[in-house]
Amino acid sequence: MLELELNQLSRRAFLTTAGALVVAIASPAEFLSAATPDSAAAAGVRPGKLSSYISIERDGSVVAYYGKIDGGQGLETSVAQLVADEIDVPWERVRVVLGDTGQCVNMGGSTAGNGLRQGGIILRQTAAEARRLLIQMAGDKLGIAPADLTVTDGVVHSVSDPAKRISYAELIGGRPLDAPVEFHGEAQQLTVKVQAPLKKPEQFKVIGKSYPRRDMPGKVFGTLQQVADVKLPNMAHARMVRPPVAGAVPVTVDEKSIADIPGTQVVWIKDFLGVVAEREWNAVRAAKQLKVTWSESKANFPGHEKLFDHIRNAPVVARSGDRNVRAVGASQERTNGSAEDAFKSAAVVLEGEYEYPTMSHASMGPACAVADVRGDSATVYTSTQKPFDCQLGIAELLDLPPEKVRAIWMFGTGGYARDAQGDATADAAILSRQLKRPVRVQYMRHESLAWDPKGTASVSRNRVGLDAQGNVVAYENITKSFSMEDCNTRERHPQDTLAGMALGHPLTWRAAYGTPGNAYQFENAHWGWELIAPLMDRSSPLRTTHIRDPFGPPLMFGSEAFIDEIAVHLKTDPIQFRLKYIKRDREHDLFAAAAKQYGWDTRPSPRNNQQGNIAVGRGFAYRTLGGTFIALIAEVRVHRDTGVIEIPRVVVAHDCGLIVNPETIKHVVDRQIIWQTSRTMHEEVQFDDKMVHSVDWLTYPVLKMPGVPRSVEVVTINRPDQPTSGAAEMACGPLPAALSNAVFDATGVRLRRVPFTPERVKAALARGPERVVKAAL
């Protein structure tokens, strides 16, 4: 096995053309045309060059180079709207190239719902700048002052004499826009500064209209090329062989055990083990049939049943506010006044704890990637959310300079943050280098669930001190958990992938956590976090990372359910209670919009007079993050006999600043609510002391049609005077608390652990109401 024999595999000739993208795929038309705009901005992408953002094709159409991706929220369409309005061409004449490191400036990939807030605004600004320069060029050609020029549908013309005109195509079609752009930062911190002003809302023709999603027909008719569909000449199919328990490594591998399956080959390098075959099904069979003896492994995990005790009891290795902790992102603690002192003066102290479980990304499609490594360069076809970091990670893994690696993002399964796509890409790269031919890696269902990096389990501890009049005088919210980044969400280094760790790169842990996004103006308050050590120091099926809205549901389930508990104690309506502690007009408008849509009657929880088997209740939760404001009302029908929770209605009031595409926003929020319903009602990774046992859709149940909220009503508030913020994940955060609050409203019983399975609901109902009041200190 290994290198010598692998090199002897028969190889058919590659199609090659110097330096160009070489692909031969099943139905390549769309993909290849996307790869090669004739204005060829690809020649030397730099963040300081206008041509790296916007170019004009020979026919006068516009190409926008978007250094992010679309995870299914329709960004291609919305970005085209921003560009079309600023550069004054019809929307249909703007093409968007997404996530190709060979053609786009690094805008950080997909992260934090900032597709429009950051990447979109950059292209909007550079489109405006391109228009300004094109008017200048036209002015020189026509001998007219730029002040007398305007643009209609890609044609610059005189305002006073429209017959004096010249088109974008005539000015520069097919040639790069040769102008500098002032830029600051990089990746998701990249910003640009241009001379051209942005258009004002009253000048919009395209922004604010519901253009249909461009990716939809290709998906509906099956003509859209996805990463799983890539076929390269001489491409081999691979499957990885994973250990049966965490920490085990291959000791012996019996190649003869697959000798009866045609065209198969084993690749075993250190702890990295895979099989390849000429035909895909033979790779599947070989991976299953291969006889491997594995090393012993110790018990590494507490088991999912005892996980929350483990979290409670484990020593804290890092906490918010520690100066020596290299915390990241939204990880800083937040404090107002001095909560600790203020608790001493409280008349009453209430406490509440909540638990959020380990979750898998559980993507619809198991990860898939294709790599083509040739000596001193590599091309990877990937569905990772961060192709630019993937490029760096693959370069380091293969010991190549980054500029010799091209990561081409393609549509694929929704991954919901850092799922296993980056792992599959690294596996494919190692296999392709070893076999010296293109390799396609497709993960299996069990691999996708058991070995993707996981969303962290956590325990949320909440305390409030009230004075004799019921005012909040002290507040504390602490989440105790694992770091969210055993595995960096940007797979920028080998240790951030399974392949890298199998090849000997140790897990590189860093403290990363956050505080729940809300904005209650408590005078003395502390929001913080405490982290415990990872369960393993190597390739673990429980290594942690981000799942969509990482600082949302796990943190806000506790914080927003506890706000409800305070209101219950004070016998106050939960909206009225919150209104006492929020200040901004946008928040008041938002709460009013949600209450109006739902038909909210002001009263405290629980609801009175609930006889019979079915108890009905409503729950409220609120969240703000990065300029987006969300108020959410969930209605439940709790079946006391079975423990089943029906969700007839969810109302969402949603303010994300200027709305670019109204229908798309509504759809994105509607789908998100159903996504988070699945997580709240069903999802929890099950494991014992050695291994994850959630390996398919029976052992990792997810929402199906019967449990779907029957009516999701999204009320959007458009704020043309405010920047567009984000909408791709922010509505997830408040849902678990809204549902828990609704169940309390219906039954007087508080659900403290996600998911809200029928067994847990029945157990909570049998237990009955709790006493949460603690006497004053």
User: Which residues lie near another protein (CB under 8 A)?
Assistant: 26-27, 71-73, 212-213, 215-217, 219-224, 226, 228-229, 231, 237, 261-262, 279-282, 284-285, 362-366, 411-414, 416, 442, 444-445, 663-664, 667-668, 670-675, 677-678, 696-698, 702-706, 708-712
Instruction: Between 363 and 434, name the residue whose CB sits nearer to another protein.
Output: 363
Instruction: Between 383 and 515, name the residue whose CB sits nearer to another protein.
Output: 383
Place of tokens 């996307």: 34
Instruction: Between 639 and 671, name the residue whose CB sits nearer to another protein.
Output: 671
The burial of 530, by beta-carbon neighbours within 10 Å (0-12 exposed, 13-18 middle, 19 or more buried), is given as buried
302 preceded by a cis bond (ω within 30 of 0) = no
* Shortest Å, Cβ 276 to another protein: 13
CA 424 to chain centre: 18
Closest CA to 401 of 430, 375, 431: 375
* Shortest Å, Cβ 659 to another protein: 15
Instruction: Between 191 and 711, name the residue whose CB sits nearer to another protein.
Output: 711
What is the Cα–Cα distance from 339 to 322, expressed in whole angstroms? Answer: 17
* Shortest Å, Cβ 225 to another protein: 8
Q: How far is CA 199 from CA 128, 196, 657, 721, 770, in A?
A: 8, 9, 16, 12, 56
* Shortest Å, Cβ 27 to another protein: 8
Q: Over the range 148-157, which residues count as b (16 or more CB within 10 Å of their CB) and which as e?
A: ebebeebbbb
Answer whether 365's CB lies under 8 Å from 228's CB.
yes
Answer whether 729's CB lies under 8 Å from 672's CB.
yes
* Shortest Å, Cβ 428 to another protein: 16
Instruction: Between 449 and 512, name the residue whose CB sits nearer to another protein.
Output: 449
Any idea what DSSP says for residue 109?
A: S
User: Which residue(s) pair with 267 in the sheet?
Assistant: 274
Closest CA to 274 of 293, 253, 299: 253
Instruction: Between 545 and 559, name the residue whose CB sits nearer to another protein.
Output: 545
Q: Over the range 29-45, which residues count as b (16 or more CB within 10 Å of their CB) and which as e?
A: eebeebbebebbbbeeb
* Shortest Å, Cβ 305 to another protein: 25
Instruction: Between 277 and 566, name the residue whose CB sits nearer to another protein.
Output: 277
The burial of 759, by beta-carbon neighbours within 10 Å (0-12 exposed, 13-18 middle, 19 or more buried), is given as exposed
Answer whether 401's CB lies under 8 Å from 334's CB.
no
* Shortest Å, Cβ 697 to another protein: 4
Instruction: Between 423 and 745, name the residue whose CB sits nearer to another protein.
Output: 423
* Shortest Å, Cβ 76 to another protein: 13
Q: How far is CA 756 from CA 26, 310, 615, in A?
A: 45, 21, 16
The backbone region for 473, taken as left when phi is positive above 0, alpha when psi lies in -120 to 50, beta otherwise, is alpha
* Shortest Å, Cβ 302 to another protein: 28
Kindly compute the dihedral angle of the four CA atoms of residues 166, 168, 174, 178, in this order, to the nearest 10 degrees: 110
755 preceded by a cis bond (ω within 30 of 0) = yes
What is the Cα–Cα distance from 124 to 677, expressed in whole angstroms? Answer: 35
Instruction: Between 653 and 703, name the residue whose CB sits nearer to another protein.
Output: 703
The burial of 94, by beta-carbon neighbours within 10 Å (0-12 exposed, 13-18 middle, 19 or more buried), is given as buried
* Shortest Å, Cβ 288 to another protein: 11
Furthest-apart CA pair in the chain: how many Å?
85
As a residue count, the chain comes to: 777
* Shortest Å, Cβ 222 to another protein: 4
* Shortest Å, Cβ 25 to another protein: 9
